[in-house]
A and B are shown apart, each in its own frame.
Chain A
Amino acid sequence: MSATHPGSGGYIVPTRDVASEELVLNMGPQHPATHGVLRVAVKTDGEVVLDCEPMVGNIHRCKEKIAENVTYVQFMPYTDRLDYLAAMNNEECYARAAEKLLGLKLPERIEYLRVIFAEAGRISSHLMSIGTYGLDVGAITPFLYCFREREEANHLFEKISGGRMLYHYMRIGGVARDPDDAWIQRLLQFLDQVEEKMDEYNTLMTWNKLFQERTMNIGVLSREKALAFGITGPALRASGIDWDCRRDDPYGIYDRFKWEVPVADGKHGTLGDCWNRHYIRALEMKQSISIVRQAIDKMPKANPDELPPPESPHKPFLAKGVPRSLQAPKGAEVYVRSENPRGELAFYMVSDGGKSPYRVKVRGPSFCNIALLPEVTRGYLLSDLVAIIGSIDIVLGEVDR
């Protein structure tokens, strides 16, 4: 080992201690494994991560400020761009928050459609995160298999909303379009297809020995730390905490379905490791499939008295009595949360009686979850850092907003 010493006049002299020097690596914002434009400053000793710091904000787009300057209805498409992989779930949460603020009641069919689309969105989002997680640990093929299935989800959403990724399907007081029977049949086929292919993904990834070697006992997040950091979603349940907003703080009509909240039990690997976070997502997809099937079974026909068919194909499918111009009472404020694929998404909205909200605050699950990155990566290798980022599953659109 040799280094330039301060007092040596620039000449290289051998040092006495043999400790290697620390290296600061800038991982991102153009790094392929940081799932977008996240920049992680990593201090490494060789390949060992001594410390790291996620530096967020590269794609800050002033979403919350925009909300104050557009009407309630106009802000809806912006919520798609928060967590752009689960746009349906963001819309659902925002629509519910706005409806609560405005005091709107929803017809039954709309409630069921909300659940069907939110859960289908969750399946599509989890397909993406499971697939890209394979990519993170070097398995390229599962990624493309997941995309094959996600493609069908994209087709379905495109057929009903016109958008493949950013749907703007949910509307305040309704949805954009009422799906017909052919569409519902195709959705059921899609569910069958995903259920069948899930085994394939599990063989290629979850139960693959190499995959387990890479993910088990890596990035362990303890129960206590998960609670202290306010972690939500699959990452929380992978640490063994039985909490799901859909069941424990029921919203919409989730209390009408029979389903289970998958919680890691530590039988495989360590509780709270990368493998468990991945596995919880795989289990959640199965539950979502079951919820969608039940919802399709129970969904009532539209009652024209409370839910009239739209006057033209270009008009949204809204409940009767939803005013064209929405205005919330002065001083009204709501905090509405929902279980996003990545954790709890919440909208805090305050009204000053105008046509646009006075303030909208988004509690983003990815933003809160990324904070734990330094906690769980210290002492692991650089390769593990990639596996950990992938297992936390962040979407930078929502981290930076």
Chain B
Amino acid sequence: MREGLTNLLSGLPQWLQDIALPVLFGLIPAVIIVLGVVTPVGLVGIWGERRIAGKIQDRVGPDRVGISLGPIKSRLFGLGQSVADGVKLLGKEDFIPPGGLGLMFLCAPLVVFAGALALFAALPFGPALWAADPNLGIFYLLSVGALEVLGVLMAGWSSNNKWSLLGAMREVAQVISYEIPMAIAALCPVLLAGSMKMSSIVADQTNGLDLWGLHIAAPEATALGWNLFAAFPFNIIAFVVFYICALAALKRAPFDLPECESELVAGFLTEYSGMRWSLFFLGEYAAMWAMSGIATVLWLGGWTGPLHGFLAGVDVGPIPGGVFFGTLAFVVKTTILFLLMIQIRWTLPRLRLDQVMSLCYKYLIPAAMLCMLASGAAALLASGGAGS
């Protein structure tokens, strides 16, 4: 397709080609990805959270907004609620607090959203289904995920509001701390696979189980090769540590201190309204899903596993079965982790800042370090000892 379009454009003057080609092959796919993947993920995520919260709390939740197109009338389980809310938020006043730093205030939600968006660039949805697969994939994902802190600090700083500032201070303290155990925990699969490339980490998980030097060959469908079971039981701990850190990095309960409504009004979001406020939200939910996706790739075999293993040969129309069921497996696993985040939020009380910090430095970092050591040792044993 690319060649066809290039040939089609070759009749145009050179300067026009110079502009048209990047737009055609860079900007337009990027916009399609943003509108077609990230925004729906955020919108459905918000709907899902509210719906599940409703079920957990013994109430109905949003179930009204569906479609009404002539004879087609359906509530669609309220799936349209996020869209309706988005339209409402678009019409709200775009309030900029007087005395604040206006430009910074305006840019903060964009930085947060961009950070969440960039996560999707290196997320492998299925076999060969990714925007990019850089050699330093996991390194890129962890660094880009940290962009959010900058946005939140900008938001809190520029709001000219004490509650916002306190919220931003909490966010920075919390997220920077939790990135340490998160990165260390993420190193375990990297050590096992010997690569930071996301596709290599997934491929490494189809080879069966390495149990402290003992190799158990197992077909992909058994899911035994997942990193979760490698260096047993240390990678299960590493997975839990990563998941807890992801909750903290995403400001999800019980770590939602930066925006906790009962203490800081709305934290760094206090002065935000309308579309800028909803950008924070969209970014948060997109990042939640992306973080679940990273955990899936690192420990739960990405697109591999029973679903993909059994059905790889069954083609669905023009789509090869490997791609279809691989993507389905990835989406299912990621969504389960995402739903777990929602359930945790609606069950647990919130921690206090000092407790959040002590959990990180006293328990999670040592645990992550131990897991990394164990994974390194396991990788060494699997490769045949120190000499090889």
Contacts and interface: CB of A to CB of B under 8 A. Distances in A.
Nearest to B255: A138
A204 B347 contact: yes
Nearest to A25: B162
Given A25-B162, A381-B353, A33 B263 contact: yes
A32 B265 contact: yes
A175 to B, nearest CB: 32
A383 B353 contact: yes
Q: On chain B, which size bracket covers the interface?
A: 20 to 34
A139 B261 contact: no
Interface stretch (B55-63, B282-290, B369-377): B55-63
Contacts of B355: 213-214
A141 B57 contact: yes
Given A23-B162, A140-B346, A382 B263 contact: yes
Given A23-B162, A25-B162, A144-B59, A134 B349 contact: yes
A138 B256 contact: yes
A145 B347 CA distance: 12
Contacts of A141: 56-57, 346-347
A386 interface: yes
Contacts of B349: 134, 137-139, 205, 208, 210-211, 214
Given A23-B162, A145-B57, A382-B166, A210 B265 contact: no
A136 B262 contact: yes
Contacts of A134: 349
B236 to A, nearest CB: 21
A80 interface: no
B186 interface: no
Contacts of B265: 31-32
A339 interface: no
B254 interface: yes
Contacts of B59: 144
A245 interface: no
Which interface residue of B56, B350, B355 has the most chain A CB atoms within 10 A?
A: B350
B348 A139 contact: yes
B182 to A, nearest CB: 21
A64 B227 CA distance: 71
A239 B162 CA distance: 35
Interface residues of A, number: 30
Given A23-B162, A47-B166, A135 B262 contact: yes
B57 A383 contact: no
A65 interface: no
Contact of A33 (B262, B346, B353): B262
B352 interface: yes
Nearest to B349: A139
Given A137-B350, A214-B349, A386 B262 contact: yes
B351 A214 contact: yes
Nearest to A204: B347
Nearest to B163: A25
B117 interface: no
A384 interface: yes
A47 B346 CA distance: 26
Interface in A359-385: 381-384
B253 interface: yes
Interface string A32-68: 1100000000000011000000000000000000000
B262 A214 contact: no
A383 B348 contact: no
B363 to A, nearest CB: 13
Contacts of A33: 262-263
Given A25-B162, A382-B263, A148 B351 contact: no
Contacts of B257: 383
A47 B258 CA distance: 12
Interface string B92-136: 000000000000000000000000000000000000000000000
B263 A383 contact: yes
A389 to B, nearest CB: 10
B271 to A, nearest CB: 14
Nearest to A143: B57
B3 interface: no
A134 B57 CA distance: 13
A6 B71 CA distance: 74
A73 B354 CA distance: 54
Nearest to B346: A141
Main secondary structure of the interface of A (DSSP, over half): helix
Given A25-B162, A139-B348, A148 B58 contact: yes
B260 interface: yes
Interface string B239-277: 000000000000001101100111111000000000000
Interface in A93-112: none
Contacts of B354: 381
Nearest to B54: A144
A208 B348 contact: yes
B352 A383 contact: yes
A46 B264 CA distance: 13
Nearest to A31: B265
Nearest to B345: A140
Nearest to B348: A210
A113 B13 CA distance: 94
Which interface residue of A138, A204, A384 has the most chain B CB atoms within 10 A?
A: A138
Nearest to A144: B57
A138 B166 contact: no
A39 B59 CA distance: 32
A383 B58 CA distance: 28
Nearest to B57: A144
Contact of B352 (A140, A208, A214): A214
B58 A138 contact: no
Nearest to A386: B263
Interface in B157-215: 162-163, 166, 169-170
A33 B253 CA distance: 17
Nearest to B254: A210
A136 B58 CA distance: 20
A383 B263 CA distance: 6
A32 B260 CA distance: 10
A288 B53 CA distance: 31
B265 to A, nearest CB: 6
Nearest to B359: A213
Which interface residue of B169, B253, B348 has the most chain A CB atoms within 10 A?
A: B348
The list of the 3 closest CB pairs from A to B, nearest first, reads A138-B350, A139-B349, A144-B57
Interface of B: 53, 56-59, 162-163, 166, 169-170, 253-254, 256-257, 260-265, 346-355
8 contacts: A23-B162, A138-B254, A141-B57, A210-B254, A210-B351, A213-B351, A213-B352, A383-B350
Given A145-B58, A214-B351, A214-B355, 13 more contacts: A25-B163, A31-B265, A32-B262, A32-B265, A137-B262, A137-B350, A138-B349, A139-B349, A144-B59, A213-B352, A382-B166, A382-B264, A383-B263
